[in-house]
Chains A and B, each alone.
Chain A
C-alpha cells in the first residue's frame, strides 16, 4: 500500500499570500497518477489537479501542481478567500487508492 504523508497539517495564511502544500509517497508513483482535491465544509471533494501537474476543468491558474516519483507539491499562488479549505492528495495508480491525511489552509 502506498502511504501518502501531507505536510504541514495546518497552514495559517492571509489572502494574497502564497500557499505551498507537500505530499510525500512511501514509494514511487508511476505515470504521475497523483491528484489533489479541495474540500470545503459540508461539500464533496473537488478535483483540482490530476497527473501531478494538470489542472482539472474550470480550475483557476493560481493552482499549480508539480513533482514526480515520491515528492509532490500543490501551490496556490495568491490565496483568495474561497481557497481556505482542506486539501488532500491521492494516488490512483495502484490499489488501494490512498489519500493523504489532508492539509487545512486557514486564515
Chain B
C-alpha cells in the first residue's frame, strides 16, 4: 500500500535551517510529484511547492523563494524539504503529499499524505 512516512519533530532556533524527509513506499517514487504543504496551529493549509522526483525539477511558492529547497534521493525513494532562515512564524506542521495523475496526464489531486512533521522555531 502507498505510504509516505515523514521524519520526526524538530525544534530549531530562529535563523537556523530544518530539513524534513518524506519516505515513499508502495509505488514507483519517480512517477508522481511530491508537494509540501504546511499548517500553523489552528490555521489553514498553505502550499509551499512541489518537486518532480524523476527530473528533480521544482516549483516553489513565491513566499518561500530563496528560503526553501526541495530535493530527493531516488535510491531510497525519499523526498526532502529544507527551509532556512527560520523565524517563529514558521512554526507549523509540515506535510508531504503525492499528486497522482494517470497515464493520460489527468491529475487526481493530492491522494496520499505523510503523517506530518511538527517544526517548532523558538529561542
Total residues of chain A contacting the partner, CB 8 A: 25
Interfacial chain A residues near B107, Cβ < 8 Å: 31, 33, 50, 92
B46 contacts the other chain (Cβ, under 8 Å)? yes
Contact, CB under 8 Å: B61 / A96: yes
1/0 per position for B25-51, CB-CB distance to A under 8 A? 000000000010100000011110010
Known: A90-B109, A97-B35. 8 other contacts (CB 8 A): A44-B97, A45-B95, A50-B107, A54-B108, A92-B99, A95-B59, A96-B61, A99-B47
**Is B53 interfacial (CB-CB < 8 Å)?**
no
In terms of DSSP, what is the predominant structure of the interface of chain A? loop
Closest to A102 in B: B44
Q: A44-B95, A44-B115, A97-B50 are in contact. Are A92 and B110 (CB under 8 A)?
A: yes
- Nearest-CB distance from A21 to chain B (Å)? 14
How many Å from the CB of A30 to the closest CB on chain B?
12
Q: Which of B45-87 contact A (CB under 8 A)?
A: 45-47, 50, 59, 61-62
Check B10 for interface membership: any CB of A closer than 8 A.
no
Taking CB atoms, residues of chain A closer than 8 Å to B109 are 33, 35, 47, 50-51, 56, 90, 92
- Residue pair B61, A50 in contact (C-beta under 8 Å): no
